[in-house]
Chains A and B, each alone.
Chain A
Amino acid sequence: MQLSLERKIFLGFTGAVGLLLFSGGAAWLSATRTTETFRQVDHTHRVLYQLEAVLTDLLNMQSSTRGFLITGEERFLEAYLHGRDRIDNNLSQLANLIADNPAQQTRGALLAAGAARVTGIMRDRIAIRRTSGYEAAVQAEALSGGKAAMDSVRQAVAAMEREERILLEERSTEARHEAGRTFLVTAGGGSLAVLLIGAAALLVRRDLRQRLTAEAERDRFFTLSLDLLCIASGDGYFKRVNPAFTQTLGWSTGEMLARPFLDFVHPDDHAATLREVERQVTAGEPVLHFENRYRHKDGSWRVLSWRSIPHGGLMFATARDVTEQLLAEEEIRHLNADLRQRAAQLEAVNAELEAFSYSVSHDLRAPLRHIDGFASLLEKNATTRLDDKDRRYLATISGAARQMGVLIDDLLAFARVGRSAIQPVPVDHAALVAEIIRTGLVAAPQVEWRIAPLPSLPGDPALLRQVWFNLLDNAVKYSRPAATPVVEITARTAGPEIIFSVRDNGVGFDPRYTGKLFQVFSRLHSAGEFEGTGIGLALVRRIVARHGGRTWAEGEPGRGACISFAFPNQPFAANAA
């Protein structure tokens, strides 16, 4: 069973007190018994003394009587008379002393009888000496049995003395034992009590240390906390504030405690602050979120976010300086508003662009159509009046108009790719490539095609068709000068990507201009060498990018070009424009 520290200490001290009480009681008992023993020893000594006194009396009386018998002078009888006066008294005292001991009483009675007989014989002989003189008294002495009587007295005294000495011995032994036990009990109990008290004292010391450590930790927590911690009273003053207050607000602890806390609060926040205090003090409700402004010593206002709980008429509160946070939030709101505005602007621009491209689509093509149309009509109607030069001019006019028509169509297609949403479905690239070559969109019967197996991937079929068409068209176009044009189409997996490549053995390009290849209207060859608008590869790059992929080109002048594009080798999320 796990005992609490307090309980251990209590049990220790209680045990010690119990032990002390017990050993004290034992000592007292023992002392009482010892006293009794000493009293009995004393009693024995007194019995012995009385026995000696009786025997002495009798011997004194005997020698006094002999003196008188021999001399007949009365002055020899003084000791006899003196003894006779005392002996009864001594005998009765002896009887009193041995009243508790029946065996001694019996012996005492024998002694008393013997003493009576001895004193009786002495009295008779004293009387005979007085009346009949020395001779008669000596005679009577011989007949009286006085010696026998005295012997019986001596025997009785000796027996009694022996008995008393035995008792004395017993009682002394008893007293010694008693003293030993008393010592054991008191010393043992005392030592145990000392041990218990010592243990309890150790526990108390340990507890005290732990308490001091805990208190120090609590204090450190209070003083080191980065949050503002305080105890405030319902009377409107702080009772305790931690150093974070000084760090946050600039006021010293003394300054904080000296004035009502409302003095530091922004006047506009007084009512709300009072309401929160009131809620705690009267309703006992905690404050979970409350913000007000506190005046910094430098005159600025800091926004503090409070949490507080009332207890025993006091409020235990923590606060945090959220000024910067609020500013940051404000900043974010601003940025968001800006972004929204920017998005709206972009949307407007987009709408404008759409209107623009619509207008381009519709209005720009009409004049071109008219130029070509009327040039053609003119050529037909005036055919006989025109010379070759005139016809070449007309052909140039028509060609330029048609070229611009193609340019416009390509540009619109390019713009559309940026706008329209991609609807990914599985696209079989092998089938796509085969279909483009078969349907003659790339009219190049002389080209040798080398087509590796191509995978299926998710994507927009129409857009991907445009990609393949542009790449194959380019490859055929630029490999035209080669003796035996070869176009090679491959696909391979490289890490997280699937890479498609279209390689030709045509004119190639200067690697210095690789960057220009994919730019709109950027061409590396003149329109006289190779027809084209400079949009094809830009469109390829844009479509591939819309699919989450990338494009690049490798080549050397006269040694062919290799255009590659790579898609992530995983289904991609459709991204709506």
Chain B
Amino acid sequence: MKNLRPILLAEDNPNDVELTLAALHSANVANEIVVVPDGEQALDYLHRRGRFAGRTTPQPCVILLDLKMPKIDGLEVLRSIRADPALHTLAVVVFTSSREEQDLVKSYQLGTNAYVVKPVDFNSFISAIGQLGFFWALLNEPPPVSV
């Protein structure tokens, strides 16, 4: 296995966090999963500041980004990442309950790499997470200059 880059999971709902972790686990994703409960900490992690000031790990191979979060919501985080030259090549997957067209449109306008609706059916959920993990953690080659 290559030097595994972490997966950043920005998700405020602990139930969703637990289910996602379980799903990633059952999909045999071995990458470190870093969980942040809001957009502010997500950006702190990426910028290595606040409680992540001393972080030495590489930047995540993918960010699973919930849209509805306290403080700074997912779309704001996405906008901030794409506006930052140091971060703008990071892979971002919007992972949300919302099927709303406006969310879809806005996410793609802001430059998300993918948009996945969390299935209600747990089996579908596990399958979706597994595919995400497989694709972004293993299959996808990140750009060479990623920080």
For residue A286, which residues in chain B have a CB less than 8 angstroms away from its CB? Answer: none
Give min CB distance, A401 to chain B, whole Å.
Answer: 7
Minimal beta-carbon separation of B85 from chain A (angstroms): 32
Interface residues of B in 13-64 (CB under 8 A from A): 13, 15-16, 19, 22
Q: Say if the beta carbon of A376 comes within 8 Å of chain B.
A: yes
Indicate whether A365 sits within 8 Å of B120 (C-beta atoms), given known contacts A374-B19, A377-B22.
yes
**Given A373-B15, A402-B120: A362 touches B97 (CB 8 Å cut-off):** yes
Would you give the 0/1 interface string for A374-417, flagging 1 where the beta carbon is closer than 8 Å to chain B?
A: 11110000000000000000000010011011101100100010
How long is the Cα–Cα vector from A406 to B124 in the complex, in angstroms? 13
In the complex, residue of chain B having the shortest beta-carbon distance to the beta carbon of A358: B100
A420 interfacial by beta-carbon distance below 8 Å: yes
Known: A366-B16, A377-B22. A372 touches B98 (CB 8 A): no
The interface residues of chain A lying within 8 Å CB-to-CB of B22 are 373, 377
Given A357, A365, A373, A377, which contacts B97 in the complex, CB threshold below 8 Å? A365
Does B68 interact with chain A (Cβ within 8 Å)? yes
Given A361-B97, A365-B97, the answer on whether A372 and B121 have CB atoms closer than 8 Å is: yes
A404→B22 CA distance, assembly (Å) = 23
Return the chain A residue nearest B14 by Cβ: A370
A370 touches B15 (CB 8 A): yes
B122 touches A373 (CB 8 A): yes
B142 at the interface (CB under 8 A from A): no
Chain A contact residues, majority secondary structure: helix
Residue B70 lies at the interface, judged by CB distance under 8 Å to chain A: no
Residues of A within 8 A of B84 (CB): none
User: Is the pair A402, B121 in contact by a Cβ cutoff of 8 Å?
Assistant: yes
Counting chain B CB atoms within 10 Å of each CB, the highest count among A362, A366, A373 belongs to: A373
Decide yes or no whether A363 CB sits under 8 A from chain B.
yes
With A372-B122, A402-B120, A405-B120 known as contacts, the answer to whether A363 contacts B19 (CB < 8 A) is: no
Query: Is there an interface contact between A373 and B19, defined as CB atoms closer than 8 Å?
Result: yes
Contact with A along B85-114 (1 / 0, CB 8 A): 000000000001111111000000000000
Size category of the A interface is 20 to 34
Q: Is the CB of A361 within 8 A of B100?
A: yes
- The distance in angstroms between the C-alpha atoms of A122 and B110, with both chains bound, is 178
Q: Determine whether A197 belongs to the interface, using a CB cutoff of 8 Å to chain B.
A: no
Q: Do residues A369 and B118 form an inter-chain contact, with CB atoms below 8 A?
A: yes
Complex: chain B residue closest to A419, CB-CB: B101
Please state if B99 and A409 are interface contacts (CB–CB under 8 Å): yes
| B16-A369 in contact (CB<8A) | yes
Given contacts A361-B97, A363-B97, contact A369 B68 (CB under 8 A): no
Tell me if A368 is interfacial: C-beta within 8 Å of chain B.
yes
Contact of B101 among A369, A406, A420 (CB under 8 A): A420
Partner of B98, one of A362, A368, A402: A362
A369 near B119 (CB under 8 angstroms)? yes
Residue pairs across A and B with CB atoms within 8 Å: the count is 67
CB of B19 to closest CB in A, whole Å: 4
- Are A401's CB and B120's CB within 8 A? yes
Whether A398 lies near B99 (C-beta < 8 A) is no
Report A464 CB to chain B, min CB distance, Å. 18
Q: How far is the CA of A406 from the CA of B16 in the complex (A)?
A: 19
Alpha-carbon distance A171/B6, docked complex (angstroms): 164
User: Hey, what's the 0/1 contact readout for A429-469 against B, CB within 8 Å counting as 1?
Assistant: 00000000000000000000000000000000000000000
Q: Roughly how many angstroms separate A376 CA and B120 CA in the complex, as a whole number?
A: 12
- Bits for B106-146, please: 1 = Cβ < 8 Å to A, else 0: 00000000000011111101000000000000000000000
Contacts of A373 in B (CB 8 A): 15, 19, 22, 122, 125
Residues from chain B with Cβ under 8 Å of A362 in the complex: 67-68, 96-98, 100
A369: shortest Cβ distance to chain B, in Å? 5
CA distance A322 to B79 in the complex (A): 62
Residues of A within 8 A of B102 (CB): 358
**In the complex, which residues of chain B have a beta carbon less than 8 angstroms from the beta carbon of A406?**
120
A377, closest chain B residue (CB): B22
Output the residue of A357, A361, A409, A420 with the most chain B CB within 10 A: A361
Query: In whole angstroms, what is the CA distance A375 to B15 when docked?
Result: 12
- Chain B contacts for A398, CB-based, 8 A: 122
Interface centre among A362, A376, A398 (most CB of B within 10 A): A362
Least CB distance from B126 to A in Å reads: 8
List residues of chain A with CB within 8 A of the CB of B98.
358, 361-362
CB pair A368 B101 closer than 8 Å: no
- In Å, the complex CA distance between A376 and B15 comes to 13
| Bound Cα distance A357, B125 (Å) | 22
Instruction: Determine the distance from Cα of A299 to Cα of B64 in the docked complex, in whole angstroms.
Output: 80
Q: Give bound CA distance, A376 to B26, whole Å.
A: 13
Q: Contact at A366–B121, with CB atoms within 8 Å? A: no
Complex Cα distance, B58 from A446, in Å, reads 56
**Shortest Cβ gap from A423 to chain B (Å):** 13
Of all chain B residues, the one with the shortest Cβ separation from A357 is B100
- B122-A376 in contact (CB<8A): yes
14 contacts between A and B (CB under 8 A): A357-B100, A358-B98, A361-B99, A362-B97, A362-B100, A365-B120, A366-B97, A369-B120, A369-B122, A370-B19, A373-B125, A376-B122, A404-B120, A405-B120
Closest 5 CB pairs of A and B: A405-B120, A376-B122, A373-B19, A370-B15, A373-B122
User: Interface of B with A (CB < 8 Å)?
Assistant: 13, 15-16, 19, 22, 67-68, 96-102, 118-123, 125
